[in-house]
Amino acid sequence: MTETKSKRIPFDTDLVRRLVASQFPQWAHLPVRPVIFGGKNNTTFHLGDEMSVRLPSARAYVAQVEKEQAWLPRLAPQLPLPIPEPVGLGEPGEGYPWPWSVYRWIEGETASLERIPDLPQFARDLAGFLTVLQAIDVTDGPAAGQHNFFRGGPLATYDDQTRKAIEELRASINGAAALAIWEQALAAEWTNPPVWLHGDVAAGNLLVRDGRLSAVIDFGILGVGDPACDLAIAWTLLHGEARAAFREALPLDQGTWARGRGWTIWKALIVAAGLPGSSEEEMARSRAIIVDLVGEHTTSSRP
């Protein structure tokens, strides 16, 4: 199966307020309000000042609720930065069909270039977090599957989708270079034991305070397997010296970086080609990422 945009259901603060009041009456007096960056796959609301409510927006994301509830409390004590702390598990109700979660609120701002004065240090801090995550015992950890859209599994899952996107974009990108990046990634198979991976290391899931990385959130794509997908941040946020610092600080081989480029260009290609639910801004950003990857590939391929 390939990653697609599932049909989403509408919900608002009134629904969240009713869910909380009926299932967690001890918190019924707390105000509910939207989070500015509330997410797509799961939507988050403030619950008072110290908690948040997180609800899957489509059936494809429902399995992530139980996974986060089970694993985040086990991983948190072993990690060097805060991650979400579940404090309640909600059930279907009030017309909402799926389980949902209450978390402890984590203060911080979404990572962005203008909020990070020292991007190389940010890159090293993030690499340090991922290095510790990858070293945690994976016994009974969730292997790649539909629950995390096969992050940590073989890139070949998305081979047809990627080649189709390259063909659709042939008039606006260097298709030959994009295909070369993709085929190099496919050829660099993961043969090491599985490790933990976050699955969606993106700017929206990284928090900063006083310009420094302060927390990592949204572990819905969590799993164990090949950590290459966690390298996409090198091209979606980092650049120049920061990208080099990130790579230097992670003890991963060239094949893993090749697959990291593969995961990055796959997602950029399908979004640029018009993945349902993608905004014009997201499509433009994805085209820029493709240009960056192609430029990097072309430079590295010169004799």
- Sheet order of strands, 206-209 included: 109-110, 206-209, 212-216
Cα separation of 100 and 281, whole Å? 29
Q: How confident is the model at residue 300 (pLDDT cuts 50, 70, 90)?
A: confident
Q: What is the mean pLDDT of residues 271-288?
A: 94
pLDDT at residue 70, rounded to an integer: 97
Pick the closest to residue 35 from 110, 85, 95 (CA basis): 110
- Mean pLDDT check: name the lowest of 100-109, 181-190, 294-303: 294-303
pLDDT in tens, 208-256: 999 999 999 999 999 999 999 999 999 999 999 999 999 999 989 999 9
pLDDT in tens, 26-40: 999 999 999 876 567
pLDDT at 115 over 50: yes
pLDDT in tens, 128-179: 999 999 999 999 999 999 999 999 999 999 999 999 999 999 999 999 999 9
Pick the closest to residue 224 from 74, 110, 53 (CA basis): 74
pLDDT in tens, 37-65: 656 788 999 999 999 999 999 999 999 99
The domains found in the chain, sorted by start residue, are 13-104 (3.30.200.20), 109-301 (3.90.1200.10)
pTM > 0.75:
yes
Mean pLDDT over each residue of the chain, to the nearest integer: 94
Q: What is the mean pLDDT of residues 16-28?
A: 98
Angle value at C-alpha 205, between 44 and 34, nearest 5 degrees: 20
Given a contact cutoff of 8 angstroms between Cβ atoms, the answer to whether 174 and 292 are in contact is no
